[in-house]
Amino acid sequence: MSRNFALNMQLRAVLATACLLAASALHASPLPHLPNFEAVGSGTMRFFGLRIYDATLWSPGGVWSATRPYALELIYARSFDGDAIARRSIEEMRAQRAYPAATLARWEQQMGALFPNVTSGDHLTGVRMPGEGATFYSGIRKLGQIDDEAFADAFFGIWLDPATRAPDLRARLLRLP
């Protein structure tokens, strides 16, 4: 066996291992305490052509159901103030349904208290546990929880409700035809 052949085989083995590791990282749960969560689907939110964030929907076994736990991970491509994220979330919720003004004000205050300022590359993840509301993370650090089922339905509905203002992103997240 020639030396070049042996080196070529070693290089192929290293490249194959790197590809396998990269592929498994793409399917790894965004939070270590949710090891059985797998990606359901993903897509990019754009505004006037500008990339705002990449979104991935995660659920046990990669099969989504609104009645089972799931997570929505956003990886930001731009910098945003946490209060601006909360305000925009309220705008999106309001666009889908009529909620009492006091309810929206309470939700905006709760989100504003939790959501940090983000920069490009930052990960914010919301975890929906039916019956427990929504828990939010920055990377793997827990930011807090909002124990309100109506809030959780409205918040995750921004992306997952059929009335979303981003139907293409919803289709990618849920892998719809």
Predicted confidence at residue 27, as pLDDT, reads 53
Tell me the pLDDT tens digit for each residue of 77-135: 999 999 999 999 999 999 999 999 999 999 999 999 999 999 999 999 999 999 999 99
pLDDT confidence band for 22 (50 / 70 / 90): very low
Predicted confidence at residue 32, as pLDDT, reads 82
Mean pLDDT, the chain, integer:
88
| pTM passes above 0.85 | no
Closest residue by Cα to residue 69 from 36, 45, 23, 115: 36
Predicted confidence at residue 16, as pLDDT, reads 42
What residue spans of the chain are helical by DSSP H?
A: 3-26, 82-96, 101-114, 149-160, 167-174
Is 107 strand, coil or helix?
Answer: helix
Is 128 strand, coil or helix?
Answer: strand
Predicted confidence at residue 36, as pLDDT, reads 92
What fold, for 31-174?
Chalcone isomerase (3.50.70)
Structure tokens at 64: 């989504």
